[in-house]
């Protein structure tokens, strides 16, 4: 399955699509504030358009977008209209079987649903009630599920896309549609246990209220959307401050790593993003 195949398969089933960066191009095609296309190391996942607006269900436009240039396929989760107006959520497992293991640990069986295999695990597509406010917060599943949830103003990479490792995203069963999200999952995702006081993860030097480092690192730690972009922006500002005030780059990098992982980013993703920011400021 090519990106064009994947995009056509999606729109034929009512899932709008938009173009993302493809790791086969020389430079990243992603856009966004603070994003350096020439030094980007997180290839294959960045939107190439403002995805909350520039998405389509039109087959002709899909052929024009994905048939003429290398682009991965993005699915704007919050712009999908399900049956009876239901909303889409996607459980993003960082390893194969992660969501099944979580369900079993909580005393439930995971019902098969529309699944797209990814570079590390899989995306499970589910329908949820329209009025339920869901986003990227795991609620009471935090620390119990090896992955993330995508809902609301979020997106996922679709089938036919190419991971930076060369793995192609594939539909596990083309005939299986999304099922309704089980009640135990919706209750866990909506559990207010996650609405705790913001965590302060950087309290070291320099001392005093005028230092922006504490605010920058805590901004990353408390991010719930666009976490990687928030980390890159904050890291750039923090390394600029370190350069101008003689602070320790290593100490700041360690604090940013802690904050990024607290926000839900993977260790390798945090490290790559912080390195990209450091190189940019060093130049």
* pLDDT tens track for 122-167: 999 999 999 888 888 898 998 899 999 999 889 999 999 999 999 9
Residue 33 resides in a domain: yes
Q: Are residues 121 and 225 part of one domain?
A: no
Contact between residue 121 and residue 94 where contact means Cβ atoms under 8 Å apart: yes
Q: Are residues 189 and 251 part of one domain?
A: no
Give the residues across from 104 on adjacent strands: none
Query: By mean pLDDT, which of 117-121, 132-136, 179-183 is the weakest?
Result: 132-136
Who wins on pLDDT, 268 or 168?
A: 168
Give the residues across from 115 on adjacent strands: 124
Q: Are residues 41 and 85 part of one domain?
A: yes
Tell whether the model's pLDDT for residue 22 goes beyond 50.
yes
Q: Are residues 81 and 176 part of one domain?
A: yes
Query: By mean pLDDT, which of 18-32, 187-201, 247-261 is the weakest?
Result: 187-201
Residue 206 resides in a domain: no
Residues 163-186 have a mean pLDDT of 96
Residue 47 resides in a domain: yes
Q: Which of 100-109, 187-196, 197-206 has the highest mean pLDDT?
A: 100-109
Which percentage of the chain shows pLDDT scores above 90?
Answer: 58
pLDDT for 137: 86
Residue 212 is encoded by which pair of tokens? Answer: 């922006």
Q: How confident is the model at residue 197 (pLDDT cuts 50, 70, 90)?
A: very low
Residue 198 resides in a domain: no
Quote the CA–CA distance of 214 and 178 in Å, as a whole number.
Answer: 43
Contact between residue 65 and residue 2 where contact means Cβ atoms under 8 Å apart: no
Q: Are residues 225 and 155 part of one domain?
A: no
Residue 203 resides in a domain: no
Q: Are residues 162 and 43 part of one domain?
A: yes
Who wins on pLDDT, 202 or 125?
A: 125
Residue 211: burial class (beta carbons within 10 Å; 0-12, 13-18, 19+): middle
Q: How confident is the model at residue 207 (pLDDT cuts 50, 70, 90)?
A: very low
Q: Are residues 99 and 34 part of one domain?
A: yes
Q: Are residues 261 and 125 part of one domain?
A: no
Q: Are residues 181 and 235 part of one domain?
A: no
From 151, 154, 11, 170, select the one nearest 91 (Cα to Cα).
Answer: 151
- Quote the domain boundaries for residue 250: 213-282
Q: Are residues 261 and 174 part of one domain?
A: no
Q: Are residues 147 and 97 part of one domain?
A: yes
Final residue of a structural domain among 149, 164, 193: 193
Q: Are residues 101 and 239 part of one domain?
A: no
Query: By mean pLDDT, which of 100-109, 129-138, 147-156, 255-264 is the weakest?
Result: 255-264
Residue 121 resides in a domain: yes
Query: By mean pLDDT, which of 131-135, 191-195, 232-236 is the weakest?
Result: 191-195
pTM of the model: 0.70
């Amino acid at each position: 399955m090519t990106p064009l195949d994947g995009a056509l398969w999606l729109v034929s089933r009512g899932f709008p699509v938009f173009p993302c960066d493809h790791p086969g191009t020389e430079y990243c095609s992603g856009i966004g504030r603070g994003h350096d296309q020439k030094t980007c190391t997180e290839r294959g996942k960045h939107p190439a358009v403002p995805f909350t607006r520039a998405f389509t269900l039109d087959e002709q436009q899909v052929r024009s977008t994905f048939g003429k240039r290398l682009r991965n396929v993005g699915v704007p989760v919050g712009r999908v209209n399900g049956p009876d107006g239901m909303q889409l959520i996607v459980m993003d497992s960082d390893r194969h079987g992660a969501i099944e293991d979580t369900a079993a640990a909580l005393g439930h069986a995971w019902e098969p649903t529309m699944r797209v295999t990814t570079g590390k695990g899989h995306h499970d597509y589910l329908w949820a009630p329209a009025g339920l406010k869901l986003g990227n917060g795991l609620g009471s599943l935090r620390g119990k599920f090896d992955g993330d949830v995508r809902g609301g103003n979020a997106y996922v990479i679709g089938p036919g896309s190419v991971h930076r490792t060369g793995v192609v995203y594939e539909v596990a069963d083309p005939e299986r549609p999304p099922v309704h999200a089980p009640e135990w999952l919706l209750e866990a995702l909506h559990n207010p246990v996650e609405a705790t006081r913001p965590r302060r993860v950087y309290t070291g030097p320099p001392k005093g209220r005028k230092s922006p480092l504490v605010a920058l690192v805590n901004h990353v730690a408390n991010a719930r959307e666009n976490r990687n972009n928030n980390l890159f922006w904050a890291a750039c500002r923090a390394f600029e401050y370190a350069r101008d005030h003689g602070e320790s780059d290593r100490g700041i990098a360690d604090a940013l790593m802690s904050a990024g992982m607290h926000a839900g980013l993977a260790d390798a993703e945090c490290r790559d993003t912080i390195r990209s920011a450091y190189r940019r400021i060093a130049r």
